[in-house]
Amino acid sequence: MSKTLLNAVNEVLKRVGLIAGDALLLQSLTDSGRQRAIDVAVQVIGEGVDELFTVTGIEKPQGQAQSTVVLTLNTRAYSLASDLVRLRFPPIDKTNFQYVFDFPGGYEALLVYDPTQSFTGLPFYATIRSTDGLLYVDRAPTAQDVGRVYTYQYDKDLTLDEAADPVPFNDVVFRAMVPAWAQLWRRDFRGTKDFDRDSYTMSLARAGRLLTKREPRTSYSPRRGSGIGPR
């Protein structure tokens, strides 16, 4: 995964004729004279990546990040990072070496465990509340627990918006995606009359085969291998 979003933008703009030669390559995603072209390229590169993983049925890779939760008096529900896809338990109080573990059975099981929701003290278990996605702890912190900081690791949605963000596949797939991205750029920047759907579909299919390492079919006949037909 050595290629970055900036590499992809440069290749797309070279493909559509807005950059001529490596000497004129962008060094960042900011350029007053070509800003709209750059912004469109960033957008369609993200769209193309999403479409590639959708059509191949492969789960899109996710990034990882870190955030914190700070205990508040009598508070059992806490907001998590806005880009969180999956929380990696357990959050850790690094100062006091204390952990908060995933409650077995999830939110509904925690309600059965504490039907009156009256337990207080230092949390030991937590779960993601199904109603709103907040982190719900098994005990409401008391005054002596307030201010404790728990650090958690989480999976986040992989987005391409910074120049150095890596594309989520190898260089071979990257090269195959450039013509597909260029077609999407032409569609969004110049209008549908410049969009070659056949070229886009073929480029996406080739990238998909390379991503999944599948060989292209030589025949699409429903009779192939069925044993039905003339002998």
pLDDT digits (tens, 9 = 90+) for 47-105: 999 999 999 999 888 888 999 999 999 999 999 999 898 999 999 999 999 999 999 99
Last residue of a domain, one of 141, 156, 171: 156
Residue 39 CB coordination number (10 Å) = 14
Residue 23: band (very low, low, confident or very high) from pLDDT cuts 50, 70, 90: confident
Relative to beta strand 101-102, strand 149-156 is unpaired
Residue 76 CB coordination number (10 Å) = 21
Tokens of residue 210, six digits: 């390379």
* Same domain, yes or no: 118 and 77: yes
Kindly state whether residue 220 falls inside one of the protein's structural domains.
no
Kindly state whether residue 218 falls inside one of the protein's structural domains.
no
Helices (H), 57-196: 106-113, 171-190
Q: How many domains does the chain have?
A: 2
pLDDT(215) > 80? no
Angstrom distance (rounded) from CA 11 to CA 212: 23
Q: What is the mean pLDDT of the chain?
A: 90
* Same domain, yes or no: 29 and 84: no
Kindly state whether residue 217 falls inside one of the protein's structural domains.
no
Kindly state whether residue 76 falls inside one of the protein's structural domains.
yes
* Same domain, yes or no: 74 and 113: yes
Per-residue confidence (pLDDT) for residue 187, from 0 to 100: 96
Kindly state whether residue 147 falls inside one of the protein's structural domains.
yes
Angstrom distance (rounded) from CA 208 to CA 188: 22
* Same domain, yes or no: 57 and 163: yes
Main-chain dihedrals φ then ψ at residue 64, nearest 5 degrees: -125, 150
Last residue of a domain, one of 138, 156, 174: 156
Q: Give the 3-state DSSP-derived string for 163-212, with helices as H, strands as E and coil as C.
A: CCCECCCCHHHHHHHHHHHHHHHHHHHHCHHHCCHHHHHHHHHHHHHHHH
- C-beta separation of 76 from 135 below 8 A: no
Domain span at residue 131?
Answer: 63-156
Q: Could you tell me the strand order of the sheet in which 135-137 lies? A: 77-78, 135-137, 125-128, 101-102
Kindly state whether residue 229 falls inside one of the protein's structural domains.
no
* Same domain, yes or no: 127 and 77: yes
* Same domain, yes or no: 55 and 69: no
Per-residue confidence (pLDDT) for residue 93, from 0 to 100: 98
Average pLDDT for 22-50: 94
* Same domain, yes or no: 92 and 138: yes
Kindly state whether residue 227 falls inside one of the protein's structural domains.
no
Number of residues that this document lists for the chain: 231
Per-residue confidence (pLDDT) for residue 226, from 0 to 100: 38
Residue 223: band (very low, low, confident or very high) from pLDDT cuts 50, 70, 90: very low
* Same domain, yes or no: 14 and 55: yes
* Same domain, yes or no: 70 and 128: yes
**Which percentage of the chain shows pLDDT scores above 90?**
77
* Same domain, yes or no: 121 and 72: yes
* Same domain, yes or no: 187 and 172: yes
* Same domain, yes or no: 170 and 57: yes
In terms of Cα–Cα distance, which of 162, 116, 155 is closest to 139?
A: 116
Relative to beta strand 101-102, strand 125-128 is parallel
Kindly state whether residue 138 falls inside one of the protein's structural domains.
yes
The DSSP 8-state label assigned to residue 120 in this structure reads B
Residue 177: which residues within 8 A CB-CB, separation 6 or more? 8, 48, 49, 52, 169, 203, 204, 207
Last residue of a domain, one of 135, 156, 177: 156
In terms of Cα–Cα distance, which of 81, 46, 89, 49 is closest to 65?
A: 81
